[in-house]
């Protein structure tokens, strides 16, 4: 059985406010996409990276020699389309092979979480890492404000683990009905696959703003 990864890095990183795509921005001198690909290489034989269409060559250089067979493909307009391109690049995988779908924007997720996800995949079609929410969460800001019960809330991270057959099927069905979600676990759940959860890790926090990058830089050098 093969374990592969789709590593999304085709976003522009507009909220980070840099000239280069977010995946090429460095922490400790290493591009974010390389941090993420290197840790995935601990459990994956193959990694498909989605890059901005005009930066594929730069991403090839950024992930060279990470220790797995890596291929860089041009991503799509939105994250879900980028994941779909990554799935297409793994067309030779079997339905019962394992795929981790991960974001280069979460470069420091510990490898231990990958292990938890892949273990849980033995009894599920899809598994997501969830982190307990520390803030009180409300909905309807600016209108009908409602408090949500915190004990039942969780923040969903990546990577998310899938049986290749389930991931392919969920994406094909979402595309057919033009359904879009912010993660792949939502697609798996929508189309009736067995979705499990494991504990996430705060070190897998997403780098979105300049402050997140500064904090990561301090942690690496500390």
Residues lying near Mg ion in the complex (CB under 5 A) are found at 11
Length of the chain: 222
Q: Pattern of binders to ligand CTP over 27-66, x per CB under 6 A?
A: -----------------------x----------------
Q: How far is the CB of 128 from ligand CTP (least distance, A)?
A: 15
Distance CA 212, CA 214 (A): 5
Contacts of 142 (CB under 8 A, 6+ apart): none
The span from the CA of 3 to the CA of 41, in Å, is 10
Complex with ligand CTP: residue 103 or 169, whichever CB lies closer = 103
User: Is residue 15 a contact point for ligand CTP (CB under 6 A)?
Assistant: yes
Binder to ligand CTP among 4, 5, 6, 9 (CB under 6 A)?
Answer: 9
**Residue 22 binds ligand CTP (CB under 6 A):** yes
Do 25 and 49 meet the contact criterion of CB atoms below 8 Å apart? Answer: no
Q: Cα torsion at 184, 125, 172, 22 (round to 10°)?
A: 30
Q: Pattern of binders to ligand CTP over 72-111, x per CB under 6 A?
A: ---xxxxx--x--------------------xxx------
């Amino acid at each position: 059985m093969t374990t592969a990864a789709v590593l999304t890095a085709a976003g522009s990183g507009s909220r980070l406010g840099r000239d280069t795509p977010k995946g090429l921005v460095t922490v400790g001198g290493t591009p974010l996409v390389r941090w993420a690909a290197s840790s995935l290489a601990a459990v994956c034989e193959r990694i498909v990276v989605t890059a901005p269409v005009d930066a594929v060559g730069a991403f090839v250089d950024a992930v060279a020699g990470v220790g797995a067979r890596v291929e860089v493909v041009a991503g799509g307009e939105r994250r879900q389309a980028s994941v779909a391109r990554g799935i297409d690049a793994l067309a030779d995988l079997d339905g019962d092979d394992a795929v981790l779908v991960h974001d280069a924007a979460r470069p420091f997720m510990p490898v231990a979480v990958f292990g938890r996800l892949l273990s849980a995949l033995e009894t599920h079609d899809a598994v997501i890492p969830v982190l307990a929410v520390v803030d009180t969460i409300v909905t309807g800001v600016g209108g009908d404000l409602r408090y949500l019960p915190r004990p039942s809330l969780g923040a969903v991270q990546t990577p998310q683990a899938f049986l290749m057959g389930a991931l392919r099927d969920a994406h094909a069905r979402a595309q057919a009905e033009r359904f879009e979600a912010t993660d792949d676990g939502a697609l798996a759940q929508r189309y009736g696959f067995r979705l499990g959860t494991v504990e996430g890790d705060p070190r897998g926090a997403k780098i979105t703003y300049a402050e997140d990058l500064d904090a990561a830089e301090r942690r690496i050098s500390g």
